[in-house]
Homo-oligomer: A and B are copies of this chain.
Amino acid sequence: MNHTASSGRTPWPFPGPQPGEEPPGARQTIADIGEFELIAQITRGLSQNDQVELGPGDDAAIIHTRGGRTLCSVDILVEGVHFRRDWSSAMDVGRKAVAVNVADIEAMGARPIGILMGFSAPADLSLTWVRYFIQGVREECDRAGVSLIGGDITKARDITISITILGDAGPEGPVLRSGARPGDLVALKGRVGWAAAGLAALSKGFRTPKAVVEAQQVPQPPYGAGREAARAGASAMIDVSDGLLADLGHMAQLSGVSIDVHRSALGMPEPVRSVGQATGVDPYVFLLTGGEDHALAATFPPGAVPAGWTVIGTVGEAPASGQQAVTVDGRAWEGQQGYDHFH
């Protein structure tokens, strides 16, 4: 069933405790209010952007796209796999769930319009957690200019958040992964390695450096940069979710090209370097193979790279048989390129 809009009594955003500061007596769970009241609380007072024709409350939502081309993508976040409640606040989880999805539409050079939210949770989950989570979802939606247009809620053992995002290809897009051509430059906008360094720090029990821990908790994709790249004439684009080398590998494979990354062009952010030092990991491993920051990597014809993007490599002819499609400073990268969920 879909989110059903309804009127209600509680103002939104509700006044309430900070995460981790639940007052005595506030041990309400989602079972206490039930599915339909929960949906009512989630959808109460939602505003919809100008391309949403019908928001939550019917069997389906309706969006309008100017050219009739709708983009869609889904990303799932599972507790214990993509987030931990002791490492991330509810609000952070909500923000992250939206951000990773918006990045997929940005990576097509398109305008994000609306999200559908699938939310599965145990019946005894604290209502306070859910409320802060929803507040995070709403805040990140506002930052990205997208609307919450529908969803589904079910019971489950673990919290699982499945967000589908819809976008409008518009006049600029779409920019596919498959359009990179030999001679193009590879450019990056946004951060790489920060979230992975944050995860490494958290895994060792550290809560610092704060900048990378926060990057793990909530990625900061460069909103708007995808359309900027499309307007500038990007030939291919991807968001870095699996790791820079792995994602450039997807792009190289689909484009039938090779890509060489110039390591020094990436720079070495101080907090990433310091996590490398503290954990005994080569910090370039974070930069080259860490996912989850959702930077945008795009290829451009020479001269077309927009301001604010960093050139980090070059596109060459298809690799010879048996050769790696993505190299670092002209050499094969030893080791894992990115993350595989079942390995």
Which A residues are closer than 8 A to B by beta carbons?
1-2, 4, 30-31, 33-36, 38, 53-54, 57-78, 80-82, 104-105, 107-108, 110, 114, 116-118, 120, 123, 149-158, 160, 162, 164-167, 169, 174, 176-178, 237-239, 241-242, 250, 254, 340-343
Contacts and interface: CB of A to CB of B under 8 A. Distances in A.
Contacts of A31: 342-343
Given A31-B342, A60-B110, A60-B167, 5 more contacts: A74-B116, A78-B156, A160-B160, A160-B162, A164-B164
A61 B68 contact: no
B120 A76 contact: yes
Chain B CB within 10 Å, residue with most, of A35, A71, A74: A74
B74 A157 contact: no
Contact of A174 (B54, B72, B165, B178): B54
In the assembly, how many copies of this chain are there? 2
Nearest to A247: B1
A60 B82 CA distance: 20
Contact of A105 (B60, B66, B76, B153): B60
A340 B36 contact: yes
A181 B56 CA distance: 21
CB-CB nearest 6 A-B residue pairs: A162-B162, A60-B73, A59-B107, A164-B164, A60-B71, A70-B70
